[in-house]
Amino acid sequence: LSTKAQAVVDEIESSDVDFLRLQFTDILGTVKNVAIPATQAEKAFAEGIYFDGSSIEGFVRIQESDMRLKPDPDTFAILPWRDGRSARLICDVIDTSTGEPFVGDPRYVLKDALDRAEEMGYTVNVAPEPEFFLFEEDEDGRATTNTNDAGGYFDLAPKDLASDVRRDIIYGLEQMDFEIEASHHEVAEGQHEINFTYDDALTTADNVGTFRTVVRAIAAQHDLHATFMPKPIARINGSGMHTHISLFDEDGENAFHDEDDEFNLSETAHSFLAGVLNHAPAITAISNPTVNSYKRLVPGYEAPVYVAWSDRNRSALIRKPAARVPAASRIEARFPDPSCNAYLAFAALIHAGLDGVEQDLEAPDPVRENIYDFDEGKREEYGIDTLPSNLGEALEALEEDEVIQDALGEHIYEKFHEAKSYEYDEFRVDVSQWELDQYLETF
């Protein structure tokens, strides 16, 4: 065993842990688990654990279904809501027929993007801001859309009744080695945000899965349902997952920082930003992958609709946040939402940005006005495109964009496209309550 793996095995042996959950994600971003007794830890590291890949969304057909999980010792963590008796390890998925990483494993897709960055001399740091709602459960323990408080942005208790829940969530996250920077009540009733520190992109993508799991598990202990659905309630803010990105060079310096630039952004940062803007319509299919995602991307709710960047306003797709120190110079992609598969979304953003860097693209001028107020003529004058307005349009943009298809790789692109086209068609043929309310008695 590697020294790291041995250290984890030793830690497991000296702890109360009885069960190990080996985790990975399917292409839709759902965390999957295989539980093994803690006594099998050494074997899991030495040989991996075999499982049937045919039952996992977007993996493989039945006739080619043997997969192996290879636990990553860096990801060992004891689950706080299981009395210290369960721990998790995030795994890479290996194709047993070749012994190589499985091309359908989203974690591999992100690693591949990071390899490209490394070849260009960069490491990638990412910090996400996943927002979520806390809803009451009904008598049967099912989720409702009744918020458990009527607080608003940065409100304090007693209006912010959820602060106890949020505190417990933070304790849970800290026990799983998250460094929490801040937490606050978000703009909408029942909506919250907890910020954790940036890390390398792979660790951060792992963290997003863990974050969602911890938030939901601890909310459930308070008889609340936490949801990362992008727009659970019409006509109020939805939940985004703003994604802050920067590239660091081989000396550990922030390659996005330039003291002399008006925005403190380097040429590399400008080109990266231009690459993301160029590919934004196709990226949305990955970063905003549900029918519901597009109910959030409408004017008026602090979510972006137009393809532009800004150093000031929050209606833009990409914002340049104020940075107190050079290491903090970064760009904030404001379009992703927390229903995405973070591995795939980060991979798509990184490839799009690196493509811009490779081609030395120049970023357009920032837009400082509120773009929600622009009419079509003014948008044309500024050369501002619009994001896809539904999942179908996003998939069409993805069909046209080879850079983003390549980011996913052929296997995931095809499986993803198939699953999402089906989802969109199901929605398209459905008749909604809104339509019944509008038309049933009118016609």
Check: CB of residue 291 under 8 Å from CB of residue 432.
no
Q: Which residues pair with 307 in a beta bridge?
A: 385
Footprint of ligand GLN on residues 328-347 (CB under 6 A)?
334
Please identify which residue in 296, 319, 411, 420 interacts with ligand GLN, judged by CB under 6 A.
296
Q: Which runs of E-coded beta strand occur in 158-232? A: 180-185, 191-196, 199-200, 224-227
Q: Which of 26, 131, 355, 401 is catalytic?
A: 131
Options 21, 192, 225, 242, the catalytic residue:
242
Q: Please tell me the distance from the alpha carbon of residue 188 to that of residue 162, in angstroms, as a whole number.
A: 13
User: What is the β-pairing status of strands 316-319 and 191-196?
Assistant: unpaired
Q: Which of 72, 95, 129, 149 binds Mg ion (CB under 5 A)?
A: 129
Q: Is 314 a catalytic residue?
A: yes
131 is an active site residue: yes
Could you say which DSSP state residue 233 is in? S
Give yes or no: 380 in active site.
no
**Radius of gyration, alpha carbons of the chain:** 22
CB of 170 to Mg ion, least distance (A): 15
Pick between residue 302 and residue 396 the one whose CB is nearest to Mg ion.
Answer: 302
CA angle 400, 279, 418 (to 5 degrees): 45
Residue where the block lists tokens 């990638």: 124
When CB distances are held under 5 to 8 angstroms depending on the partner's kind, the choice from Mg ion, ligand GLN, none that residue 303 binds is ligand GLN
Among 75, 163, 210, 237, binds ligand GLN (CB under 6 A): 237
Interacting span for ligand GLN (CB under 6 A) from 218-226, 233-241, 257-265, 423-431: 233-241
Structure tokens at 432: 């909604």
Q: Is 242 a catalytic residue?
A: yes
Query: Of the ranges 2-10, 58-66, 134-142, 237-245, which one interacts with ligand GLN (CB under 6 A)?
Result: 237-245
Q: Is 242 in the site for Mg ion (CB under 5 A)?
A: yes
- Residue position matching structure tokens 């304090």: 156
Catalytic residue among 258, 332, 337, 355: 332
Q: Are 126 and 198 in contact (CB under 8 A)?
A: yes
Task: Indicate if 118 belongs to the active site.
Answer: no
Catalytic-labelled residue, pool 72, 129, 149, 258: 129
CA distance 402 to 86: 42
Phi and psi for 385 in degrees, rounded to 5?
Answer: -85, 165
Q: Which of 240, 336, 353, 392 binds ligand GLN (CB under 6 A)?
A: 240
302 near ligand GLN, judged by CB under 6 A: yes
Report the interface residues with Mg ion, using CB under 5 A: 129, 193, 242
**Catalytic site residues?**
52, 129, 131, 186, 193, 242, 314, 332, 334
